[in-house]
Amino acid sequence: MTTSIKAAIKTAIKTVPSSPRDRIRQQLADLKMPGALESLDQVLAAADGGSATPADAIEQLLAAQISLRNNRRLVAAMRSSRLPAVKTLADFDFSFQPSVKREQIESLHELGFLERRENVILLGPPGVGKSHLAISLAIAAAQSGRRVYYGTLADLITSLEEAAQAWHLSHRLKTLGFPSLLVVDEIGYLPITRTGAMLFFQLMSRRYEHASTVLTSNKGFEEWGDIFGDDVMAAALIDRLVHHCHIVNIRGNSYRMRNHADLQSAMQGALHPDFHSDSPPESGRRPTHAIHHPRKTAKERRP
């Protein structure tokens, strides 16, 4: 063995940490686990004091690393997805909206619908928490490592119209069709052109059975023909959206107006005297048959 190799081995031996605590610290650094490394002293102190078992200590270290990873993913997602704010399921006040089925919402946040490429549609009057729940689903998806994108209907249509004018529509449709989860917020709040409606229909057709979309609207399905300016197109759009879909219909008061009960009551009566998502169409309007489809089981949906 040459002198240089012997010297290198001696140097390596000298640099090996002597105590178990130092070796663990070095191993966590080698594994690139900064979250666990940062919490190591606190976790070992709890173990030394008898308040944590060895299994507890390992679990706490791993949980610290997972938490850091999820936070980093969220920061990256906030930059790329255009999410307007961080709204989580833990922040949602179920007691204020008793019409919301907590079990359904918690189940959706387990993200199984993303694996099955199903959609989620949240319906209800303004201020009841539709956008909050839509964003919290996007946050959960981002923390799990999935790519998400957020936009209001008006903003998405504007981007599609601009792409069409610049002869880049195909590229824009491909870009918006790629995320595992697309949030389309505020359907029904602002008027859209017929061209915009056709472009949005193309986007939803591209994502159909390929990726999940979460949509929010203050209008029931029977009014979507007015929103998109075409009953036939609206029926075809709804048919695709609800084929594999979870519908959350929220009936309640505006959370933003909770401190103004009198004004809230007057506004709700004027704007939405009887809001619902599955009422029959008005006389003379083409029936929106898709909303009457019975929910298929997972077995029935698969070929």
**Rounded Cα–Cα distance for residues 290 and 225 (Å):** 13
Beta bridge partners of 247: 121
Report if residue 288 sits inside a domain.
Answer: yes
pLDDT digits (tens, 9 = 90+) for 58-117: 999 999 998 888 888 777 777 767 899 889 999 999 999 999 999 999 999 999 999 999
* 259 and 172 in a common domain: yes
* 75 and 207 in a common domain: no
Report if residue 2 sits inside a domain.
Answer: no
What is the token pair recorded at 240? Answer: 């695709």
* 225 and 142 in a common domain: yes
* 264 and 181 in a common domain: yes
At residue 238's C-alpha, the angle toward residues 140 and 251, to 5°, is 60
Length of the chain: 303
Residue 98 and residue 147 in contact, taking contact as beta carbons nearer than 8 Å: no
List the domain range (segments joined by +) for residue 39: 17-80
* 138 and 49 in a common domain: no
Nearest-CA neighbor of 24 among 49, 67, 2, 54?
A: 54
CATH code for the domain of 86: 3.40.50.300
pLDDT digits (tens, 9 = 90+) for 237-293: 999 999 999 999 999 888 766 666 555 565 555 555 455 544 434 333 333 333 334
* 251 and 127 in a common domain: yes
Report if residue 46 sits inside a domain.
Answer: yes
Report if residue 6 sits inside a domain.
Answer: no
Report if residue 229 sits inside a domain.
Answer: yes
| Backbone phi, psi, residue 197, to 5° | -65, -40
Q: Is pLDDT larger for residue 170 or for residue 44? A: 170
Structural domains of the chain, count? 2
Give the domain-ending residue among 51, 80, 109: 80
pLDDT of residue 73: 78
Confidence label for 162 from pLDDT (cuts 50, 70 and 90)? very high
Report if residue 118 sits inside a domain.
Answer: yes
* 194 and 111 in a common domain: yes
Give the domain-ending residue among 80, 100, 115: 80
pLDDT of residue 211: 98
Report if residue 213 sits inside a domain.
Answer: yes
Residue 41 CB partners (closer than 8 Å, separation 6+): none
* 164 and 45 in a common domain: no
* 221 and 127 in a common domain: yes
* 93 and 159 in a common domain: yes
Confidence label for 44 from pLDDT (cuts 50, 70 and 90)? confident
* 296 and 212 in a common domain: yes
* 243 and 135 in a common domain: yes
Residue 69 and residue 142 in contact, taking contact as beta carbons nearer than 8 Å: no
pLDDT of residue 5: 58
pLDDT of residue 260: 60
Give the domain-ending residue among 80, 109, 127: 80
pLDDT of residue 206: 97
pLDDT digits (tens, 9 = 90+) for 222-231: 999 999 999 9
**Beta-carbon neighbour count of residue 31 at 10 Å?**
11
**Is 0.75 surpassed by the pTM of this model?**
no
Does residue 301 have a pLDDT over 50?
A: no
pLDDT of residue 91: 95
Calculate mean pLDDT across residues 34-54: 88
pLDDT of residue 95: 92
**Rounded Cα–Cα distance for residues 85 and 90 (Å):** 14
Residue 214 CB partners (closer than 8 Å, separation 6+): 119, 120, 121, 122, 134, 137, 138, 181, 182, 183, 184
Report if residue 5 sits inside a domain.
Answer: no
pLDDT digits (tens, 9 = 90+) for 177-215: 999 999 999 999 998 999 999 999 999 999 999 999 999
